[in-house]
Amino acid sequence: MGASGLNVAFAVTCGFLVLDKPAGLSSHSCVGRVRRAYGLKRVGHGGTLDPAVTGVLPIALGPATRLLPYLTGDKTYRGVIQLGVRTDSDDLEGEVLERKPVPALVDAELEAALDRFRGTIQQRPPAVSAVHVNGERAYKLARAGVALELQARSVSVHHLGLLSWTPDQGQLELEVNCSAGTYIRSIARDLGDALGCGGALARLRRTEALGFGLQQSVSLEQLDQEPRPLLVDPLNALANLPRHPLEPEQLQGWRCGRLQDCDPRWEADTAVVVVSPDGNLAGMARVQATGTLQPRLVLDAAG
């Protein structure tokens, strides 16, 4: 959004930063770094990454924090699974519970074992995870010594590709494209169980999240440099959604939260990007009924 938008400050402080998160930092810590670098209080992230996991961490700045629910939830990962070991966290960061020999396997046998994890599956999250259990995070309960057996839930694995298999190390590398809420650690655990030797996630890197990829990412070090990295325009981030351009005479009504006429072909409850007459983001709406838009987010609302 250029200087022709609502105002220059808005253009600078409303957008998305795609951080290439390093290992060893929590997602919350990364948000703090971005907040200090841009001098903003209103900063949030989309899609938590465990401290050991690297890669794409989308961060919203300013009013863009309210746009996070409208971004696509699918994610893509590249990860390495270590067979022959079980841990309490389903990755190599946890306490080892058991070690077993890894059977002699060829690619075809691994592909057959992986096939049960493709499509819509029932998956039990790791005990050490951010899942809520009676109002508490599962990882807090697990670290307090509470024995947990979390309920399985439905997730979608759109693509699960075997990239490499190293028999002498018992390691396989995978690429996974999946729905939000899918745990690659659970795939590692369950694959190991299916093969009879146990498995744990050795390392993981997220390459895509919420429609953003590594090619758009910046490092933490770049936050300390001048000029600060440019933000991704919200209109680019929302490019997959239909758009409704406002005519000049409709702008005031939109700013007051009035219903808008729209394309009658749009299905009810469709999320729609509303664009102001000057070509900037005016907000978000949902199709309430055939040919009618209900404002849900008005960025420059009338007082």
SS3 156: strand
What is the Cα–Cα distance from 45 to 154, expressed in whole angstroms? 24
Radius of gyration of the chain (CA): 22
DSSP H or E run through 81: strand 75-83
How far apart CA 46 and CA 26 sit, in angstroms, is 13
Phi/psi for 61 (5° steps) reads -120, 140
47 near 57, Cβ under 8 Å? yes
Residues 24, 46: Cα–Cα separation, whole Å: 18
List 50, 90, 190, 233, catalytic entry: 50
Residue 104 Cα distances to 100, 160, 165, angstroms: 13, 22, 11
Catalytic annotation on 190? no
Question: What is the distance, to the nearest Å, from the Cα of residue 98 to the centroid of all Cα atoms in its chain?
Answer: 32
The set of catalytic residues is 50
